[in-house]
Amino acid sequence: MAVMRLKSEASKLVLSYLWWVIEPLLYVTVFYIVFEKLLSRGGGDFLVFLMLGKIPFLWFSKSINTAANAMLTGKGIMGQRDFPKHIFPYSVVLEASYKQVVVFLLLFFWLFTQGYSLSQACLWLPLLILSNLSLILSGSMLAALRVVYLQDLRAVIGMGTLFLMFASGIFWDVRSIADPEVQQLILTFNPLAFLLDAYRQILMHQTSPDISYLLVLTFLSLVLLGLVHWVYARQSQYIAYKVLS
């Protein structure tokens, strides 16, 4: 399903697969102009700082918002045969992840050309990406499930991701907050803020993030993913009934 959607999307666009890279770069360019040029709120290495926040966030936000409608858009297929319902949000996340692999590879290459070298901290990058992916999967499955029961929640989910865009340190540095307690509060209770900061710690500053918290976050995300899978399995027939009714 993910591959078919990617091919269908590419066939409708003049620049085809190039949009996988162009779209996130356009987002970064717009916010760079606004914050760096118009508001003068950037500073040194702001473009790198912005890219390492905005690009992972786009992976999260686009996956969650698209997955929220995944089961409703799959209504026709669901009415033809019975199969695990988690396939719908999974295919959305997989589609976004295919694109993200390409964007990440180009981002890492660009960082290398700008003088950012590899360090031992990069060994934690696979765990960071796994934690990011597990959070996206669990969040996407929850969003899809909630919208099945109450379609009005699509607007709430969209507003929620918009709130996270401003609350997770994409345009501002969490570590610049003067009060260390507030700083720690944000990094502890906003997993997305922690993940974006971890990308910057590893790739910009060549330092390791809080590994203990990263391990805990990965574990909790995987546990949540397992619990949501269990709910999907138990509610499979009822989910189909709600979608088709």
Q: Tokens representing 56?
A: 């992972």
Work out whether the CA dihedral 77, 79, 84, 90 comes out positive or negative. positive
Residue 190 is part of which domain span? Answer: 2-244
How many other CB atoms are found less than 10 A from the CB of residue 172? 14
Give the per-residue pLDDT at 6. 64
In tens digits, the chain (245 residues) has pLDDT values of 766 776 666 566 555 567 778 888 888 888 888 887 787 776 678 889 999 999 999 999 999 999 999 888 877 777 677 778 889 999 999 989 988 998 999 998 889 888 888 888 999 999 999 999 999 999 999 999 999 888 888 889 999 999 999 999 998 899 888 888 989 999 999 999 999 999 999 999 999 999 999 999 999 999 999 999 999 999 888 888 888 87
Q: In sequence order, which residues have a C-beta less than 8 Å from that of residue 132 and are 6 or more positions away?
A: 56, 59, 60, 195
Longest distance between any two alpha carbons in the chain, whole Å: 57
Question: How many domains is the chain partitioned into structurally?
Answer: 1
State pTM to two decimals: 0.89
Cα three-residue angle 64-70-75, rounded to 5 degrees: 165
